[in-house]
Amino acid sequence: MTAPFLLAEKLERRVGDTQILDRIDLAVQKGEVVGLIGPSGSGKSSLLRCIAGLDPITGGRVLVEGRTPTPGDGTIGMVFQQFNLWPHLTAQENVTLALRLVRKQSRSEAAERARTMLDRVDLLKFADRRPAQLSGGQQQRVAIARTLAMEPRLVLFDEPTASLDPELTTEVLDVIRGLADTGMTMLVVSHEMGFVASVATRAVFLDHGRILVDGPTKQVFRDAQEPRLRRFLATYLQRVAWAPEPEPATDNPALLEIIENPPGEGMPLTSTKPGA
Amino acid sequence: MNVVTETLWAVARGLPLTIGIWLASVATGLLAGVLVACARHFGPRLLNAVLLTLVEIVRGVPFVVQAFLLYYGGPFIGLDLTPILAGWLALSIYATAYFSEIFRAGFLAIPRGHTEAARLLGLSTNQTIIRILLPEMALSVLPALANLAVILVKETAILSIITVPELTFTVSGVGSATFAFAQTMTALALSYWALVELTAYAARRLERGIARATLGTA
C-alpha cells in the first residue's frame, strides 16, 4: 500500500481539562474526498484546524506527503465557514494579494490568474466588487477561488455552507462538487448529509473528539451499525423527512435512496417517516 | 499697540509652534502607537507585559506632571532638552500610549479568521498587518484617533508651563502684561476652538476618503 497523502497519527488536542481531539488516526489517499460528519462540538472543525496548523496539537503528528505542514507553506488551503474575505479589497484583489506578496507574481500575472479563478467559480463579472456587495454564496465562492489560486495540495472545507440559505448553499456545493471531479484531495466538514453522501468517497463520523466510524460513504450511510451514528443520522433524516415533499429531481440520489429505503429493520429511521 | 493688536500678534507668534508641535506629536504618536500595539498584539508575552506597564504609567500620570518631569527632571538622567524638544517628546509619549490602545482595540475587533486566512495563504505577519489589518481597521478606529488628536491640540497648552513659546504662552503673556485677561483668554479660546473645528473637518474628509478607498462607498 502506498504511503497516504495525509496522515494524522494519534492526533490529540487538549485545552485544560477538555479533550478536544482524542488519538485521531486518519489516513487519506491522494484524490480522496473525505466527508467529516458529526454533532456540533464533536471535533470536526478542530481536526481541520489542527491539520492546517491553526490550532496547536498536544500529541501525535500530522504529515502531508511525509512532511509536517506549516501554515502558509502552500501545502494546505482552507475555506472557512465565515468566508474570511478581506472587506477592504475587491474580489479580484482578495485573490491577487497572496499571488503578489507570496508568489511574487507581477501585477498582470496575478490579475490574469485571479480572473481565471473567478471565472472558474462563475464570478468574473463581479471581480471589482467588494465582499459587502456580494451575497454570502458569492463571497464563499470568492474565498474558494482565493484558496485555489495558490494551488494547494490539500483543501480543507470547514462547514463552507453553514451560514448560507439553501439556495446559496447549492451554488457553493456545486463549486465544491466540480472541484471533487478534478481529483483534488479534500476534507469537507459539513452538516449537508446529502452533499457528503453524493460527493465524498469516504465518510468519517466523529463524536467527543474520537473517530467512531470511518468507511466508504455509501456504507457509512446505508449500513450504519454504530449506535451513535444511527441516532445522529436519524435526527438529521427526521428533519428532512418532515420537510415539504422534495422535488423528485433532487441531485442527492444517495440521500433520496436513504429516505426511500431506510436501512435495516427496527432502526429509528423508519418511525420518523411521515404517516409512520 | 492696543490690547487687540497685541493679542492678535501673540496669536500669530504662538500658533505656528502650537500647530507644529501638535502635528509632530500626532505623527510620532501614531507611528509609535502602531508599533506598540503590534508588539503587544503579536509579540511575546514578556514584551506585552513591559509595554502594558509603560502604557499604564503614562495613562496614570497627569500630562502636566509628565511634562514637568521630562523637562526639569530630564537633566538628572542626562536628558537636557530644549523646551520645544521636551514638549514634543512629552506630548509624543503621551500620544503613543493612547494611540496604541486605540490600535490595539482595532486589532482585537478584526475577526481572527481574517488573520488565519492570510497566514494559510502564506502572508508574513508584517504583510498581514500592513496590507490587511491596518487598512481594514482604518475606518473603525478613525473617530477615536481624531478624538485623541483633538484632545492633543488642547494638551499643547500645558507646554506653556515648561516655557514652550506656543499659543497659550504668548497670549497669556499679553494678558499678564496688560491685565486684559478676559480679552486675551477669549482670543485663546477662539484659537483652540478654530483648530479643533479644523481637525474635526479634516477627520470627516479623511473618513469619507477611507470609506471610498476601503469599502467602495462614500
What pLDDT, in 10s, does the model give residues A57-93?
999 999 999 899 999 898 999 999 999 999 999 999 9
Q: How confident is the model over B163-206, as pLDDT tens digits?
A: 999 999 999 998 888 888 898 999 999 999 999 999 999 999 99
Instruction: Read off the pLDDT of residues A36-51 as tens digits, 9 standing for 90 and up.
Output: 999 999 999 999 999 9
Decide which of B64 and A165 is more confident: B64
Q: Which CATH architecture has domain B3-215?
A: Orthogonal Bundle (1.10)
Which domains does chain A carry? Answer: 6-271 (3.40.50.300)
A97 and B113 within 8 Å at the Cβ level: the answer is: no
Residue A80 one-letter amino acid: F
How far apart are alpha carbons A138 and A230 in whole angstroms?
34
Contact A218, A30 (CB under 8 A): no
- A126 part of contact set with chain B, CB < 8 Å: no
- Written as nine digits, the cell of B161 is 508651563
Strands A154-158 and A185-189: parallel
CA distances from B23 to A273, B141, B174 (A): 73, 19, 25
Query: Average pLDDT in the A233-252 region?
Result: 65
pLDDT at A273: 36
**Contact (CB<8Å) A98/B121:** yes
Which one of A74, A84, A130 has the shortest CB-CB distance to B113?
A84
CA A67, A72, A76: angle at the middle one, nearest 5? 60
Sorted by where each begins, the domain ranges of chain B are 3-215
- pTM of the predicted model, to two decimals? 0.83
Q: How far apart are CA A51 and CA A78, in angstroms?
A: 10
pLDDT at residue B59, rounded to an integer:
95
| Amino acid B61: pLDDT | 96
Mean pLDDT value across residues A174-187: 89
What pLDDT score was predicted for residue A269? Answer: 37
Q: How much is the pLDDT for A268?
A: 40
Q: What residue type is B210 in one-letter code?
A: I
In this complex, the residue of B120, B127, B214 whose CB is nearest that of residue A88 is B214
Tell me: pLDDT of A226 over 80: yes
Name, in order, each residue with C-beta under 8 angstroms of A60's C-beta and a sequence gap of 6 or more.
Answer: A8, A9, A10, A11, A12, A23, A24
Nearest to A236 by CA among A269, A260, A211, A265: A269
Residue A73, CA atoms < 13 Å, CB-side half-sphere? 13
Instruction: Please give the biggest Cα pair distance in chain A.
Output: 64
pLDDT of residue A276: 34
Low-confidence ranges of chain B (pLDDT < 50): 218
| CA–CA min distance A98, chain B (Å) | 6
3-class state of residue A92 by DSSP: helix
ipTM attached to this prediction: 0.83
